[in-house]
Amino acid sequence: MKAKPGPVAGIDYPRTYQEFERWFADEISCRKYLFQLRWPQGFNCPRCGSKTSPWVTARGYLHCAQCEGEISVTAGTIFERTRSPLKTWFAAMWFMMSQKHWASALGLQRILGLGSYQTAWTWLHKLRRAMVRPDRERLHGPVEVDETYVGGSESGSKRGRGSEKKQIVVIGVEVHSPMGFGRIRMRRIPDVKGVSLVPFVCDVVEQGSEILTDGWSGYNDLHRQGYKHSKTVLSDSGDPAHVAMPGAHRIASLLKRWLLGTHQGAVSGKHLDYYLDEYTFRFNRRASRSRGMLFYRLMEQAVATAPLPYRLLVQGNHNM
Ligand SMILES: [Zn+2]
């Protein structure tokens, strides 16, 4: 397989807000952009497989010359059946990726002049959903895995008393030698038993990788799942400077700081998954300093993410 060349600034994505405004001035240019992203090798009719270039109808549909079907460029993407102009969606995505930390629904509502807070909130959640779902490339080792507790009162220790009201998040982070991190993955889990921890590792880390954990028994089955499991057991000195999994520990504190700064730490359980997705998306693309590049990456995933009805979105059915 030929490696896909990376996107080019000024050709594949706008470099500045001025350029963004020029590129996406109307619906036709937005649809053209989505078309390019969905069919970079040329059109391929989702109904009949025809590769003949479609023509565009007056209402903006693609008319397949072979099957005479009318196809919307937004069908099967998060923009499907939206009643808002694509231009507004694009602006929302640019806005979201321009925020250094996190885009609030209120901020989005104000900047785009959206009618309701609920609309802004729904849009941001739809976009968060696009942030991780299609990205299936697994981490490879060595990977540190550890759990952390989010929300609730700050007292109480790990895996112990006082953690009932908190939510448990398991973190996987690629550790580089001699220092630094690669990519991360996170998941909210109901408990710290092996049945919650081991499937997370199996889902997000390539088999055969080395998994680094502390001495917790919940990880004991990893070697049976084809991982090289290295345990670090620290003596109970109580010295907070010595943590068994420094990488995961660091990610956990960055996550908590991010959640605190943006939500005052108040993220309800069912929605935490979406915020974990957003955090992961941003963290794993932290080397992309340009907003345009982040915008492009988000757009790329948005056209590959099936829409989620509002009803399911508010229920927080993250894994649907
Ligand atoms: Zn067709």
- What's the pLDDT tens digit per position in 175-215? 998 888 999 999 999 999 999 999 999 999 999 999 999 99
Q: What pLDDT score does 275 carry?
A: 86
Write down the mean pLDDT value for the chain.
Answer: 85
Rounded to the nearest whole angstrom, what is the distance from the C-alpha of residue 75 to the centroid of ligand 1? 14
Averaged pLDDT, 261-288: 79
Residue 31 has pLDDT above 90, yes or no: yes
Residue 173's DSSP bridge partners are 144, 184
Q: What pLDDT score does 154 carry?
A: 54
Q: Whose structure tokens read 């060595």?
A: 142
Residue 313 has pLDDT above 70, yes or no: no
User: Could you give the CA distance from residue 259 to residue 294 in angstroms, rounded to a whole number?
Assistant: 20
Higher pLDDT, 200 or 318: 200
Cis peptide before 40 (omega within 30 of 0): no
Rounded to the nearest whole angstrom, what is the distance from the C-alpha of residue 74 to the centroid of ligand 1? 16
pLDDT (tens digit per residue) in 62-75:
999 999 999 999 98
209, 183 Cβ separation under 8 angstroms:
no
Rounded to the nearest whole angstrom, what is the distance from the C-alpha of residue 73 to the centroid of ligand 1? 13
Q: Residue 169: which of 153, 148, 184 has the closest Cα? A: 148
pLDDT (tens digit per residue) in 289-307:
788 999 999 999 899 877 7
Rounded to the nearest whole angstrom, what is the distance from the C-alpha of residue 81 to the centroid of ligand 1? 20
User: Could you give the CA distance from residue 16 to residue 19 in angstroms, rounded to a whole number?
Assistant: 5
Rounded to the nearest whole angstrom, what is the distance from the C-alpha of residue 57 to the centroid of ligand 1? 14
Rounded to the nearest whole angstrom, what is the distance from the C-alpha of residue 29 to the centroid of ligand 1? 23
Helices (H), the chain: 17-23, 27-38, 86-98, 105-112, 117-132, 194-204, 246-263, 269-284, 291-302, 310-315
Q: Residue 191: which of 222, 170, 171, 213 has the closest Cα? A: 170
Higher pLDDT, 307 or 238: 307
Rounded to the nearest whole angstrom, what is the distance from the C-alpha of residue 304 to the centroid of ligand 1? 20
pLDDT band at 271 (very low <50, low <70, confident <90, very high): confident
Averaged pLDDT, 38-43: 91
pLDDT band at 48 (very low <50, low <70, confident <90, very high): very high
Note residues around ion ligand 1 (Cβ under 5 angstroms).
45, 47-48, 50, 64, 66-67, 69
Rounded to the nearest whole angstrom, what is the distance from the C-alpha of residue 305 to the centroid of ligand 1? 21
User: Could you give the CA distance from residue 11 to residue 37 in angstroms, rounded to a whole number?
Assistant: 12
pTM, entire model = 0.83
Least confident of 24-28, 81-85, 224-228: 81-85
Rounded to the nearest whole angstrom, what is the distance from the C-alpha of residue 30 to the centroid of ligand 1? 22
Rounded to the nearest whole angstrom, what is the distance from the C-alpha of residue 31 to the centroid of ligand 1? 18
Averaged pLDDT, 227-238: 80
Q: What pLDDT score does 161 carry?
A: 45
Residue 236 has pLDDT above 90, yes or no: no
pLDDT band at 1 (very low <50, low <70, confident <90, very high): very low
Rounded to the nearest whole angstrom, what is the distance from the C-alpha of residue 68 to the centroid of ligand 1? 6
Rounded to the nearest whole angstrom, what is the distance from the C-alpha of residue 60 to the centroid of ligand 1? 16
- List Cβ neighbours of 41 (8 Å cut-off, separation of 6 or more): none
